Amino acid sequence: MTVTVTFVGTGDAFGTGGRHSTCILVDTPALRFAIDFGASSIVALKALGIEHTTIDLILLTHYHGDHAGGLPAMLLDAMLGARRTSPLTIAGPPGLPDRLRQFSETLYPGSSRKTPRFPLDLVEIEPMRPREVLGLRVSTYPALHTPETIPTSVRIDTGERVIAYTGDTAWTEHLPALAEGSDLMIAECYGYSKAIPFHLNYGVISERRDELRTRRLGLTHMGPEMLENAAGQPIECAHDGMVIRL
């Protein structure tokens, strides 16, 4: 059965190249879920003609605005505008309820007091402790990024396909395990040759490509240097609106 991956947003934290912040939408025969939901994700989804109310699950890799900052607006719209009725599950690293409350109160003071009329389930996932979430087997690994964001990489087994995503991270010992046997591995690639703290670059990924045993490797979260050099590279570079069928 086909699993479809839509790159809703492939940009960095600063919208380089006019790209939207990180959001990767996955459609399986039974479920629609998003990996990360950055600040401009609700706008990017609307531009693609996709209603956020059709998403069953959002998996967060870490608590930076370009990966989780779109949740407050999405939840407010779900309650006040779109009038969502179907259940929604949000899963992320430890501390999710408090982080979501902080995001909401910072961006829309008073909004955290609103009670959704739809079932909302918040699931905290401990790194290195795989668990079932809505029929998916979700495994997270520690990532090397800003520590305060509780950074993780995530591997999702849908039953039909395995999708891995590095989240924001420098190279770690866990990336080969993250990639092993996956149908698609999505790697953040902020830089091209320049070393950027807490991030991967094209030089590192290409040099260690053989350690990432995945059927297909795609790059995202590209900064200015990487975007300038993305065309014609042998490793596939994603763009907003790009669709992959596995």
Residues that are catalytic: 66
Q: Collapsing DSSP states into helix, strand and coil, what is residue 1?
A: coil
Q: Collapsing DSSP states into helix, strand and coil, what is residue 17?
A: helix
Distance (Å, whole) CA 66 – CA 53: 20
SS (H, E, C) 101-124: HHHHHHHCCCHHHCCCCCCEEEEE
With b for 16 or more beta-carbon neighbours within 10 A and e for fewer, the 222-237 pattern comes to: bbebbbeebeeeeeeb
CA distances from 116 to 76, 106, 119, 120, 145 (A): 9, 19, 7, 7, 32
Distance (Å, whole) CA 105 – CA 26: 29
